[in-house]
Amino acid sequence: MKKNRKNLALLLLAASLLAGCAGQSNSQSSQSSQAKSENKAESKASSKSAAKSAASSAVSSTKSSSSQASSKSAASSSQRADANRMGTLTSQLRVKLPGMLLPAADGLGQGSSNLNIRYASSSSQNVVYYSIGNSPLALNDSRIASEKPYAVLTEKKNVADASSLINYQEPKTGLPAVKIASNVTGTEEWAAGSTYLQFNQGQWSFVVRASNVQGQKPLPTAQKLLALYQQYGLPDTAAKSSVQVDVGESLGSLNTVITWAKGSSVYQLKAHSTETAFKMLKSLN
C-alpha cells in the first residue's frame, strides 16, 4: 500500500514537471511568434518610411532642377536681350553714319539693358557717345545728353596728317628700364609730377601715366595693359598708332585713349575702363 502511494506521488510529480515544461515551451513559442510579428511590422514601417523619403527627395530634386533650368533660361534671355539692344542701336547708327567703323559689342560687364547711344555728325567728323541710363532710350534721345558716357568713339575724316593726331611715341633710349613681362621691357621717366612708363609693340606705342602726388605706380597698369593687348589685339593700322592710359578708372573719366588711322580717317576711342575699350575694339567692323 505504501509502495502504491509512493508510485502515485512520483507519477503526479512527473506529470507536473511535464506540464510545466510544455507551458514554458508554449510561452517561448508565443514570444518568438510575437517577436517575428513585431519585426515584420517594423520592417514594413521602415520600408514605407524609406519609400516616402525617396519620393520626397525625388520631388525636391525635380523642383531644384526645374528652378536651376528656369534661372539659366532667364539669364540666357536677358543676355540675348542685352546683345539685341546693342545690335539694334548699332544697325540704326550704320544708316545714320555710313562707312564709319563701329563696335558690335558694348564692352560692358553689366548694365547693357539700359545702354543708350547718341551721336553728332558733320562733314569733318562723327562722334558716338555710349552711356548707361536709368532706362533704355531711343537713339539720339535728347535726354541721353545728361548721361555720363563710358566710351566715346570719334572719326575724323579726310585727315591730311594723321601723325599729328595720333601722338605715337618712338621707343626711348637712355632712360631707366622696367621689365613689364618676361619678354617685354619698357622705359620710365618723370615729368611734371607724373611718372610715364612706355613700351612699344609693333606699330603701337603704349604710355601709362601715374600721378606721383597721389602715390600711383604705373607698372601694375602697364602689365594689365600688355595682357589685354595680347588677349584682344588692336585694330589693323598701316600707320603708327598709340594707346595712352592714366592710372585709375572711374565713370566718366575716359582715362584710356586709343588712336589709330584707317584709310584717310583717324579714329579715337576714349573709355573709362581699359578692358571695355579693348572689348569694343575687338568687335569693330
Q: pLDDT by residue (tens digit) across 143-187?
A: 999 999 999 999 999 999 999 899 999 999 999 999 999 999 999
pLDDT for 69 equals 46
> What mean pLDDT comes out for the span 99-103?
97
pLDDT band, residue 35 (cuts 50/70/90): very low
pLDDT for 12 equals 44
Residue whose cell numbers read 604710355:
207
Residue 166 or 22, more confident: 166
pLDDT for 114 equals 96
> What mean pLDDT comes out for the span 126-135?
97
pLDDT band, residue 241 (cuts 50/70/90): very high
**Cα–Cα separations (whole angstroms), residue 241 to 111, 198, 203, 234, 259:** 31, 14, 6, 10, 6
Q: Please check whether residue 225 is in contact with residue 234, taking contact to mean a CB–CB distance below 8 angstroms.
A: no
Please list the residues that pair with 259 across neighbouring strands. Answer: 242, 268
pLDDT for 251 equals 77
Mean pLDDT of all residues in the chain? 81
Residue 67 or 173, more confident: 173
pLDDT for 83 equals 60
Q: What share of the chain has pLDDT > 70, as a percent?
A: 71
pLDDT for 109 equals 87
- What pTM was estimated for this model as a whole? 0.72
Residue 6 or 217, more confident: 217
**Residue of 159, 156, 20 whose CA lies nearest to 100:** 156
- Spatial separation of the C-alpha atoms in residues 27 and 32, rounded to whole Å: 9
Whether 205 has a pLDDT exceeding 50, the answer reads yes
pLDDT for 177 equals 97
Rg (CA), the chain: 42
List, as own/partner pairs, every contact residues 249-258 make where C-beta atoms lie below 8 angstroms and the sequence separation is at least 24, other chains included.
249/273, 249/274, 251/148, 251/150, 252/148, 252/149, 252/150, 254/149, 254/151, 254/152, 258/234
- Spatial separation of the C-alpha atoms in residues 131 and 151, rounded to whole Å: 7
Whether 213 has a pLDDT exceeding 80, the answer reads yes
Residue 52 or 107, more confident: 107
Q: Based on the number of CB atoms within 10 Å of its own CB, is 117 exposed (0-12), middle (13-18) or buried (19 or more)?
A: buried
pLDDT band, residue 80 (cuts 50/70/90): low
pLDDT for 220 equals 97
Whether 31 has a pLDDT exceeding 50, the answer reads no
DSSP-derived 3-state class of residue 265: strand
Residue 86 or 249, more confident: 86
Torsion of CA 262, 266, 271, 275, to 10 degrees: 20
DSSP-derived 3-state class of residue 119: strand
- Spatial separation of the C-alpha atoms in residues 156 and 111, rounded to whole Å: 29
What DSSP character marks residue 155? E
Torsion of CA 140, 246, 167, 233, to 10 degrees: -80
